[in-house]
Each structure stands twice: as structure tokens, then as C-alpha cells.
Amino acid sequence: MRNHLLLSVIIILALVLSGCINTIPPSSSAGVTPSGNQEKNSLTGIVEDANSGLALWNGKVSLTNDKHTYSTTIRNGAFAFTGVAPGKYTLAIEKEFYKPLKRQVTITGSPTSIMEKMIPEFTSNELDLFSRLVHAEAKGETYRGQVAVAASVLNRVVHPDYPDTLSAIINQVVVSGGRRYYQYEPVLNGAIRKPASQTAKDAVNDALAGWDPSLNATGFFAPAKVGPRSWVWNRRATTTIGNHRFFR
């Protein structure tokens, strides 16, 4: 029995020395912890408008490096990644009407929390024009009604049937049957030249951040002021807020 045991030890020793048996797991190397055993962790974040400080309602967020890609969305100003492997990553945030944001983050063995601020893609002059339009069109409406008017204008920016810049949409004039039709009456009567109230400016900021009480409308009108034969009655209504009926 002792001879058999001694023979087995000699055979195993010979195999180890010859390299036939590897005493280090193939998924790792000496002094390195296998990636499968690394403790994964979380990254949470808050995203705000850099000008207004309002939390952004929506957006897309990604976390990438040469080994991993994680994706999620912003909901009510916040996002969260869980089960993230430690390492250095590129954080990318995209939100409609805002300049894309990218920066480097490092995930360690502890939960990570960050706060980011995004800058609107529109210039200060465009935002002032926008606010003056909302003021002229909806100064007598509730705050929700003013945000809805602002949101309907933004919905035109991304709609293929309208110009693709904010200024062009506000100042658009359509020629039909030899007549010129202004898309917004304050541009025609000059009311848009009056300074915007702070309420109108706030409504614009809320619409930029993602609040849309108009329910994706691209236009609105006051039913009490529009005749029954107007083409706007044929458009699909999305909602009615105060004196305005919103449509697509």
C-alpha cells in the first residue's frame, strides 16, 4: 500500500513539473483576482437643467468602456446603474433640446453618486423669443396651460412637417392660395415684441425639461375665437386646457 501511495505522489509531482497540471486557475494569473469574483457596484445620478436647476424628466444614459456597456434612462431627474463592474467608464447623457454630455467616471468597490447639469441647445436670444411667444399666446392661462403652449412649440421642432429650428418655427409664414398665414398671431400683430413674464420663462424651462401637458400636440387654438369651418377643427385633439384646444 505504501509503495502504491509513494508511486502516486511521484507521478503527480512529475506531471506538475512537466506543466501538464496548472495549479493557477486558467481565468486568472498570479496576484490577479478573476474578473468574475470582482465585487460589482452601483452608479446613481441626478440630472438638472444648468440654467433653471429643474430636474430633467427624461433622457438616455450610457456607461461604456472597452469591456462593458450599460444603458438606462432618466426618470423624474434620476438614473441608476446596478451590477456595474469596477473600472473607468465614459458616461454619456442625451436629452432632447440639450447639448450632449460626456465625462469620465470611475466605479470602485463602493456605491457612486453624481450630479450632472445639462445646457440647452438653444441660444439665450432663442429662449427669450420663445418666452415672449408663450407670454403673448397664453398670459391669461394657468401655468399648466402656458407649459402646454411651450411644449407644443417644441414638438414642432422634432416634427418633420415643420422647420427644424426654434426661431424658424416661431416666425414661420405659410403661403397658400396667394395668401400669407402666420403660424402664431403674436408674430403678426407684434405682441411678441413685449417682454416675457417670469411665469412664461418658467413655463419654457419646464417644457424644455420634459413636461408636456399638451400630450404631444403640435398646435393649439381658442375654440371660442375660431369659426366652425376652420381647418383646425379637423385636426385630432389631444387635450383642452383653459381656453386652448391642443391638436396634432
DSSP H or E segment with residue 207: helix 198-209
Q: Are 127 and 207 in contact (CB under 8 A)?
A: no
Instruction: Tell me the average pLDDT of the chain.
Output: 88
In a domain, 20, yes or no: no
Structural domain containing residue 113 = 38-118
Listed in sequence order, the residues at least 6 apart from 166 whose beta carbon sits closer than 8 Å to its beta carbon are: 122, 126, 129, 130, 153, 154, 157
Q: What is the pLDDT of residue 39?
A: 75
Instruction: Tell me the per-residue pLDDT of 100-113, one tens digit each, with 9 for 90 and over.
Output: 999 999 999 899 99
* Predicted confidence (pLDDT) at residue 114 exceeds the cutoff of 60: yes
Q: β-strands 41-49, 87-94: how paired?
A: unpaired
| pLDDT tier, 29 (very low <50, low <70, confident <90, very high otherwise) | very low
152 shares a domain with 47: no
Co-location of 138 and 240 in the same domain: yes
For residue 8, pLDDT over 90 is answered with no
**Which of left, alpha, beta for 123 (phi over 0: left; psi -120 to 50: alpha)?**
beta
198 shares a domain with 96: no
Question: Each residue of 220-234: pLDDT tens digit?
Answer: 999 999 999 888 999
156 with 221, same domain?
yes
Is 19's pLDDT higher than 70?
A: no
Task: State whether 114 and 142 are in the same domain.
Answer: no
The CATH number linked to 163 is: 1.10.10.2520
* Domain contains 233: yes
Which residues contact residue 19 at a Cβ distance below 8 angstroms, ignoring those fewer than 6 apart? none
- Last residue of a domain, which of 118, 137, 156? 118
Q: Are 36 and 85 in contact (CB under 8 A)?
A: no
Question: pTM for the whole thing?
Answer: 0.82
Task: Read off the CATH number of the domain in which 114 is found.
Answer: 2.60.40.10
* Percent of the chain's residues with pLDDT above 70: 85
Query: CB-based burial of residue 36 (10 Å sphere; 0-12 exposed, 13-18 middle, 19+ buried)?
Result: exposed
What is the pLDDT at residue 178? Answer: 87
